[in-house]
Amino acid sequence: MTYTNFTLDTDAEGIALLTWDMPDRSMNVFTESVMEELDAILAEVVANDAIKGVVLTSGKKDFSGGADLNMLKRMMAQFEAEKTRDPGNATKLLFENAGLMTGLFRRIETCGKPWVAAINGTCMGGAFEISLACHGRVAADSERVKLALPEVKVGIFPGAGGTQRVPRLADTQAALQMLTTGQTLTPQKAKGMNLIHAIAAPDQLIETAKKMIRDGLKPVQPWDEKGFKIPGGPVYSAAGANLWPPAAAILRRETNLNYPGAAAILKCVYEGLLVPFDTALKIEQRYFTQILQTTEAAMMVRSLFVSLQELNKGARRPAGVPETKFSKIGVIGAGFMGAGIAYVTAKAGIPVVLVDRDQESAQKGKAHSDTLMAEQVKKGRAKPEDKEKLLALITPTADYAALEGCELVIEAVFEDSTVKKAATQAAEAAIGDTAIFASNTSTIPISALAGNSVRPDSFVGIHFFSPVDKMMLVEVIRGEKTGEKAIATALDYVRAIKKTPVLVNDTRGFFVNRCVLKYIAEAYRMLIEGVPAPMIENAAKFAGMPVGPLALADEVALDLAQKIMRQTVRDLGEGAVEADQLKLVDEMVDRFDRKGRKNAKGFYDYPAKPAKKALWPGLKDLYPQKAPEAVDFDELKKRFLFVIAIEAARVMEEGIVTDPREADVGSILAFGFAPYTGGVLSMIDGMGAAKFVAEADALKAKHGAPFEVPQLLRDMAKSNDTFYARFNPYPPEKEAA
């Protein structure tokens, strides 16, 4: 029989090689057709006495990325549509759909013939779950092989048997850590956890898998054999008593119970290990059905799975502009930001010219890459030859003429209009007519900087976040005269360095910084009100933010914040900055010389390692303190989330951001906005605009102007509208598909 997604070749010994190679796709994924074909292949294998066993592998460079995002979208859309007609039947259909992969994988492992997964590259999610259902697992000894069940990162969990097979193969504690964090495993780590059986040289992968079958691999899983014992010990045992109470406490500490999917993993494993395997799978299926119905899952899947992939694939790239292949990139300014940009560019394999005022400064910028790569080598994440190869791609110089031949030049000099003007003019004298010039700026409008250019249509903003090597988001800013080629080139570059781009229109602070400044300003407001600083930081973390606002202010640097606030007053007038907040920052910087982490004292004290930073005790003396019991902790949490979301809505109203996917993904990747909400706009959509506006109005009545919602939100509340409906990011032809 002929299949579309697979080929089945049986050798003289009766071992069938099942090769997964989907046409017109760069990576194999589970779709409805893939699952239908696998079911038919399984029936063929069982019926054919000549087939003694099956080796499942991939015809692509990677094994599989797991489930196709569109299949998950269709499942959830079907549920929502049916729910309006028959809620009970909607849940029943969702339960049945959630069990399709579970049932297929269970039939594979109980078919009576041995299956071996030969894993040649990335193997994620459902792909790793089908591998775990195979009786043998062999992974190639290659850096390409990455094994993970990362579903918890998008609000769900491994619902095709993952929560039951992993803790029956690995120690329960290690299994819980892997499942609740979405941890990625190397072949060596996976073998140490007993999740794979062997590691083979890439050219011996298939032969090693076949040999397992020839050597008499039993077509029975350990948990289906009589006398099976759980590796980590029974739930009700001394080992279990030492594991489960701390596991629940750790989950609460790490998630603040904001992530239903993570909590469901603990429930699935705990309850599943108490019952026979088939019953355990049914428990998992019920929890998976429950989690799929949560707002958190819907929003996280949309933003962190669907939207993130769409943006990474160029969803916002102008159509009809030829893609730019980069052979040479220029970076002007070898300070911390410029050096970081040079590093990520070279890491992508693109030659870089790093320009600064003198050779010594430029060389110092290249040394940053040397330091970063040395750390990677020390941790075993890179080889010495990788370091030398990367450094060879960076050419430090003080000569602007070296920029000739660059397709893109990125200016990353000091945040000063005069300095940026000089760099722009010097670069444009050296680069070709077709080159694109970009400015990395966080505060100065791109349209103003483009006034220094003789080719404003080729001038674009590319705003990196610090540290460049770790932060995954990049803002591409369209100035008033920026052309489509400049936008396309900037987006091509961001994709080339494997970061996620968001396209925003020009304004002071662009999108991310406008939201971040509201977050920090609300913390200043609370401090001035007399809210104890520890409550401020903890409320933000309990709300889902990764870093407290006072700690974030220290990272940004209080003296820089002071400069920005004073410049804002000069540009926009006294009312643009709250006077008591400027006074607070002035006191911290001018009176106490507390500038943040940069001088080891800000809102926090930063002692020498190994001691940890701690809030400065002097904060409690700045303002009369409220008693902790007099502070509404839940309201503090809400204030942080609402003040950011209101600003994001205002940015949409002003047309600075036009695609809700970019606001959501950008808010999570740039400053960690409560990922369980799906992002700033998904939080509002998830609550409903009417409820959000009502709660914002209540906050405004108590705390004033920061909680004044824009007219856009009031209009949406009246019409029961959502951002994804009002600002639909999908063209009609894509919706129809």
Output 548-553 pairs: Cβ under 8 A, ≥24 positions apart. Answer: 548/523, 549/519, 549/520, 549/522, 549/523, 549/640, 550/523, 550/602, 550/603, 550/604, 550/615, 551/603, 551/604, 551/613, 552/516, 552/519, 552/520, 552/671, 553/520, 553/523, 553/596, 553/602, 553/603
Tell the residue number behind the tokens 């775990």, with chain if given: 132
3-state secondary structure of 658: coil
- Give the separation between CA 283 and CA 453, rounded to whole angstroms: 64
Give the CATH superfamily of 329-509.
NAD(P)-binding Rossmann-like Domain (3.40.50.720)
- The whole-number pLDDT of residue 442 equals 79
- Give the separation between CA 44 and CA 41, rounded to whole angstroms: 5
- The whole-number pLDDT of residue 366 equals 97
- Give the separation between CA 246 and CA 85, rounded to whole angstroms: 44
Q: What percent of the chain has pLDDT over 90?
A: 89
Residues 2-51: tens digit of each pLDDT: 899 999 999 999 999 999 999 989 999 999 999 999 999 999 999 999 99
Output the six-digit token pair for 562.
């002071």
Task: Tell me the mean pLDDT in the region 707-725.
Answer: 97
Cα distance between the two ends of the chain: 29
- Band the pLDDT of 508: cuts 50, 70, 90: confident
Residue 734 has pLDDT above 90, yes or no: no
Task: Tell me the mean pLDDT in the region 111-134.
Answer: 97
- Band the pLDDT of 278: cuts 50, 70, 90: very high
Please identify, in words, the CATH class of the domain defined by 6-293.
alpha beta
Task: Tell me the mean pLDDT in the region 449-477.
Answer: 95
Q: Is residue 133 within 8 Å of 108, Cβ to Cβ?
A: yes
3-state secondary structure of 263: helix
Q: Is residue 654 within 8 Å of 495, Cβ to Cβ?
A: no
Non-local CB neighbours of 218 within 8 Å, separated by 6+ positions? 114, 135
Non-local CB neighbours of 632 within 8 Å, separated by 6+ positions? none
Integer-rounded Cα Rg, in Å, for the chain is 28
Between 37 and 609, the higher pLDDT residue: 37
Peptide bond into 467 cis (omega under 30): yes
Domain with CATH 1.10.1040.50 in the chain: 513-726
- Give the separation between CA 411 and CA 458, rounded to whole angstroms: 13
Tell the residue number behind the tokens 């360095």, with chain if given: 497
Domain with CATH 3.90.226.10 in the chain: 6-293
Inter-CA distances, 618 with 300, 585, 592, Å: 40, 14, 10
CB burial string 646-671: b at 16+ within 10 A, e below: bbbbbbbeeebbebbbbbbbbbbbbb
Residue 667 has pLDDT above 90, yes or no: yes
197 is catalytic: no
- The whole-number pLDDT of residue 574 equals 86
Residues 518-574: tens digit of each pLDDT: 999 999 999 999 999 999 999 999 999 999 999 999 998 999 899 889 988 988 888
Q: Is residue 509 within 8 Å of 630, Cβ to Cβ?
A: no
Non-local CB neighbours of 46 within 8 Å, separated by 6+ positions? 111, 112, 113
Output the six-digit token pair for 337.
């930001």
- pLDDT averaged over the chain? 95
- The whole-number pLDDT of residue 735 equals 44
- The whole-number pLDDT of residue 733 equals 52
Helices (H), 99-182: 100-109, 126-133, 162-169, 172-181
3-state secondary structure of 331: strand
- The whole-number pLDDT of residue 737 equals 38
- Least Cα distance to 197 among 180, 215, 178 occurs for 215
Non-local CB neighbours of 688 within 8 Å, separated by 6+ positions? 720
Residue 354 has pLDDT above 60, yes or no: yes
- Give the separation between CA 326 and CA 303, rounded to whole angstroms: 29
Catalytic position from the list 135, 368, 463, 703: 463
HSE-up (13 A, CA, CB side) for residue 619: 27
Residues 204-213: tens digit of each pLDDT: 999 999 999 9
Non-local CB neighbours of 490 within 8 Å, separated by 6+ positions? 408, 436, 438, 460, 462, 476, 501
Residues 370-414: tens digit of each pLDDT: 999 999 999 888 999 999 999 999 999 999 999 999 999 999 998
Q: DSSP for 373-440, please give it.
A: HHHHHHTTSS-HHHHHHHHHTEEEES-GGGGTT-SEEEE---S-HHHHHHHHHHHHTTS-TT-EEEE-
- At the second CATH level, the architecture of 513-726 is Orthogonal Bundle (1.10)
Residues in the chain: 737
- The whole-number pLDDT of residue 72 equals 79
Tell the residue number behind the tokens 């089945």, with chain if given: 8
Residues 169-227: tens digit of each pLDDT: 999 999 999 999 999 999 999 999 999 999 999 999 999 999 999 999 999 999 999 99
Q: What percent of the chain has pLDDT over 70?
A: 99
Domain with CATH 3.40.50.720 in the chain: 329-509
- Give the separation between CA 21 and CA 445, rounded to whole angstroms: 48
Output the six-digit token pair for 63.
């094994």
CB atoms within 10 A of CB 575: 8
- Band the pLDDT of 575: cuts 50, 70, 90: confident
Residue 736 has pLDDT above 80, yes or no: no
The kind and range of the H/E element at 332 are strand 329-332
- The whole-number pLDDT of residue 75 equals 85
Residue 157 has pLDDT above 50, yes or no: yes
